[in-house]
Structure formats: structure tokens, C-alpha cells
Structure 1
Amino acid sequence: MRWDRFFDDLEDQLASEWEAERAALDTEAERLRLSRVSLRDRLQALAGSDRPAATFETADGSRHVATVTGVGADWVGLASAEGRARGMIVPLTSIEAVGMPHAELLHSARPAPATSSIVERMTLGFVLRDLARRRSAVVVHLMRGRSLAGTIDRAGADHLDLALHEPGTPRRADVVTGHRVVAFGAIAWLATDAAAVP
């Protein structure tokens, strides 16, 4: 009778050790998986009209309550949830923090569904060239807090040419007040028509 109890105790102890080892391996596998998750992946998980708004803090010191409308290779498209009918394009390097409810935080850390390789290749330059082609008026907010309103005439590999004019007016030669070459690295975020944001 004592031997039966002895073997049962050994069996229980071995099962407990295996369970503890499996839990440790699962925890380590989860840590390894999380170490490979990028900010871009987390934002991709927040994309969609069914997701609640988050608070985005950008390098120019501004805060935006917005929903994620799209994520490219190095940028995120946002739709303002603060009653302003505008879209925003924010370089990923300009995002300092994202505030969201705990449930959304956990959701964004889960593995994201596979995305199109075309979307992954859409860089900030690609989006800005599309805005130039559409002749969309934009307000470019710079890292140091200044903003420039106008129309993007062209976008290169790492910069854009901006024709300056009053916000809300179409670009015409007689309303252009100047031109600026703006480095992509100086851009905190761009505001444009919500319809123009991918």
C-alpha cells in the first residue's frame, strides 16, 4: 500500500515538473515572439474602423486622438477622432508614444495577419508623390513645432518640394507665397483631406 502511494507521489511530482517546464518554455517562446514585434506591427493590429481611437504623441509635442486607417513601410495613416474632418500621415520615426486602453494594448501585441507585400513597400515618399499627383493641399508640421501650408509639387527620395499658400486655397501661381524643400526627417506629421489618406 505504501509503494502505491510512493509511485503516485512520484508520478504527481514528475507531472508537476513537466507542467512547470512547459510553462517556462511557453513563457520564453512568448518573450522571443514579442522581441520580434515592431511598432509598425502593433499599429497594423490597430487598423480598422471597428477599433477604438488611440492617442498618438508625436515628436513636435502634439497629441492626436485618432484611429489607424492604414500602415505603410515607414508611416501610419490616421483619421482624427476629435471632430475635425482631416486625415493625417505620420512617419513612424515621429511617433513617441501611443496611448490606448489595456485591452487594445494586449490586442496589438498579438500576431498580426499577413499583409500585402505592396502595402509593406509603400514608403512615405510613395504616399507624398501620390499627394503631389493629386495636387492635395497639406499642412506639414515640422519636428520643431512650425507648420507650413501648401501643395506638394514633387517628392524625392528623402525630401519634398512645397509650394506655400494659404490653407484651403487651391495652388495657383498668383497665391503661392514661396517654396520650401523639406527633408522627410524634419516632418512630424502632415494634415490633409481625410479622403486623401490611404
Structure 2
Amino acid sequence: MRWDRLFEDLEDQLASEWEAERAALDTEAERLRLAGLSLRERLRALAGTDAAVSLDCVDGTGARGTVSAVGADWFALAVATRRGGALLVPFAGAAAIGMSHEAMLRTARPEPAVARLADRMTLGFVLRDLSRRRIPVTLALTAGRELSGTIDRAGADHLDLALHERDQPRRADAVSGHRIVPIAVLVWVRLESAATLA
């Protein structure tokens, strides 16, 4: 009888040790998975959902809304204001992104990504499209300044902006100046018309 009990105790100990080892391996595997997770993947898990996010930008400004699109180096935030619209935010322009705990956990386990064209679109590509469509924009710069106008051209690492009032179309008599703006100093780009990105 005592021998039976001894063997049962040994079996229980062995089972406990195996369970502890398996749990340790699972924890390490989860750590490795999270170590490879990018901000882009986490934001992509929010794109198209109704999960509200609060954005703190590197220039001290902020916004609230939902993530409507994610590109190679930027994301679009459908802004929750009376005016509406969208902000294009380079990843480097975001200081912190707040969301509910549920949304935070959902982004830590994103669905396997299906390759889409939007995933390869860089901010420069999107800026060139805005230039082509002549959509008025407001640019927030890292120095804390805002510039409003229409993008005339967008190069590899900069854009040409014709300055004019926010709600006016670009006309020669409305343009008050021109600026070359490096893309690296953009905090966000606000679309001033009803244009959307999805």
C-alpha cells in the first residue's frame, strides 16, 4: 500500500514539473512572438473597427477617432470631431496611442495579414495622390507650427506646399507663399475636404 502511494506521489510530482516546464515554454514563446510584433501590425488590427483611440502626437497635440487605414509607414485616423475628416499620421509622429484594454489585447493578437496594396503604400505615395487630387491640407510640423494649403508636388523625402486659407481651393490669387517641407518633420496631415482614406 505504501509503495502505491509513493509511486502516485512521484507521478504527481513529475506531472507538476512537466506542466511547469510547458508553461515556461509557452511563456517564452509568447514573449518571442510579442518581440516580433510591429506597431503597424497592431494598428492594422484596429483598422476598420469601431475601436476608439486617442492619439498623442510628438508636437504635443492630440486627437480622438478610429483607425481607418494603415500603410507602410503611416496610419489614417478618422477624427471624431464635429468637422470630421481624417488625419494622416506618420508612425514617427505618434508619441502614444491610447485605447481600451480590450482593444489593446486584440491588437496583441492580430489576425494573419492578407497582403493588400495599402500595406505597401508609403506616406510619400499618399501625398502624391493628394497632390494629384488637389485636396487642401493642413500640415503639423515637429516645431509646433501648422501650414495650410495644397500640395503641389511630393518628392522622395519632401513636398512642395502652396500656402492658402484652409477652406479655399488653390487659386493663383489665393496663394500667399510656397514652402518645401521635409516629410521627416511631419507630425500629421489633416485633409481639409471630405476626402477619406480606407
CA contact (8 A) 2:151 2:160 kept: yes
Q: Is the counterpart of residue 197 in structure 1 residue 197 in structure 2?
A: yes
* 1:40 equivalent in structure 2: 40
* 2:2 equivalent in structure 1: 2
- Partner of 1:196: helix, strand, or coil? coil
Q: 2:23 and 2:155 mapped to 1: Cα distance?
A: 51
| Structure 2: runs of 5+ lacking an equivalent | none
Q: 2:156 and 2:124 mapped to 1: Cα distance?
A: 6
Q: Is the counterpart of residue 166 in structure 1 residue 165 in structure 2?
A: yes
Deviation sequence 1:37-92 (CA, Å, 0-9, x none): 111111111111x3321100111111111100000000001101133221110000
CA contact (8 A) 1:88 1:197 kept: no
Q: 1:196 and 1:161 mapped to 2: Cα distance?
A: 22
Q: 2:83 and 2:36 mapped to 1: Cα distance?
A: 35
| Structure 1: runs of 5+ lacking an equivalent | none
Residue 119 of structure 1 deviates from its aligned partner by 2.1
Deviation sequence 1:81-104 (CA, Å, 0-9, x none): 133221110000111101111111
- Partner of 1:195: helix, strand, or coil? coil
Aligned length: 197
Q: 1:104 and 1:91 mapped to 2: Cα distance?
A: 21
Map residues 6-85 of structure 1 onto 2, 5 A cutoff.
6-48=6-48, 50-85=49-84
Runs of 4+ in 1 over 3 A off after TM superposition: none
- Partner of 2:106: helix, strand, or coil? helix
Q: Name whichever of 24-33 and 1-10 sits farther off.
A: 1-10
TM-score scaled by length of structure 1 = 0.96
